[in-house]
């Protein structure tokens, strides 16, 4: 039997992912009630920075999925979920965080958007039509001169408007510098 030569597998960078249950209650209980959802989002980012080994602790390297964001904000700013199950995926230098288990509402919305995108992709190539070249006649000297005059008139009108606005501002500033009423000298010491 002939030996088979194995070719090295050429795969794109395999995205490694981990699932976490992030406790949020301890973090957002310390903040005012009207700031809890943003604090919960920040807590998720801090958790991922710590557990996904981002050594410079840069929160900008964490990207949250829009469905994760919507899930946190569903009950409003004052009442985010106490804990959340997320899936973190390394994507180059960045880490993408997704909701591990979508709710029915979010799953339905995601499927609906994906369906729309597929339909748009199917329709887009059909709409392309061959380009028709249209010859544009050259402008005569008179038309070129008229265009220059129009441009000059527009520039002059703009300068007049600027001067008028400057005069108006000058008058307004002079009036506003004067005191509205006399100071009482007896009280000033």
- Predicted confidence (pLDDT) per residue in 85-126, tens digit: 999 999 888 999 999 998 899 899 999 999 999 998 888 766
pLDDT of residue 46: 94
The CATH number assigned to the domain with range 17-123 reads 3.10.440.10
State the chain's mean pLDDT as an integer.
83
Percent of the chain with pLDDT over 90: 49
pLDDT at 175: 54
Residue 186: band (very low, low, confident or very high) from pLDDT cuts 50, 70, 90: confident
HEC assignment per residue over the chain: CCCCCCCCCCCCCCCCEEEEEEECHHHHCCCCHHHHHHHHHHHHHHHHHHHCCCCCCCHHHEEECHHHHHHHHCCCCCCCCCEEEEEEEEECCEEEEEECCCCHHHHHHHHHHHHHHHHHHHHHHHHCCCCCCCCCCCCCHHHHHHHHHHHHHHHHHHHHHHHHHHHHHHHHHHHHHCCCCCCCCCCCC
- Higher per-residue confidence, 182 vs 142: 142
Say what the pLDDT of residue 129 is.
61
What predicted TM-score, i.e. pTM, was given to this entire model? 0.56
- Of 65-74, 138-147, 165-174, which one has max mean pLDDT? 65-74
């Amino acid at each position: 039997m002939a030996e088979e030569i194995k070719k090295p597998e050429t795969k794109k960078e395999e995205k490694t992912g981990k699932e976490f249950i992030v406790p949020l209650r301890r973090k957002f209980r310390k903040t005012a009630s009207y700031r809890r959802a943003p604090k919960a989002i920040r807590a998720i980012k801090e958790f991922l920075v710590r557990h996904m080994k981002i050594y410079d602790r840069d929160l900008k390297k964490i990207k949250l999925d829009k469905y994760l964001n919507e899930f946190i904000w569903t009950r409003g700013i004052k009442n985010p979920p106490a804990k959340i199950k997320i899936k973190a995926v390394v994507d180059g230098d960045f880490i993408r965080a997704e909701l591990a288990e979508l709710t029915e509402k979010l799953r339905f919305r995601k499927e609906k958007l994906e369906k729309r995108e597929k339909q748009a992709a199917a329709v887009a190539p059909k709409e392309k039509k061959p380009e028709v070249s249209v010859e544009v006649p050259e402008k005569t000297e008179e038309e070129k001169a008229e265009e220059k005059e129009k441009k000059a008139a527009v520039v002059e009108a703009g300068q007049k408007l600027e001067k008028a606005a400057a005069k108006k501002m000058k008058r307004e500033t002079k009036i506003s510098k004067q005191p509205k009423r006399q100071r009482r000298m007896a009280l000033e010491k």
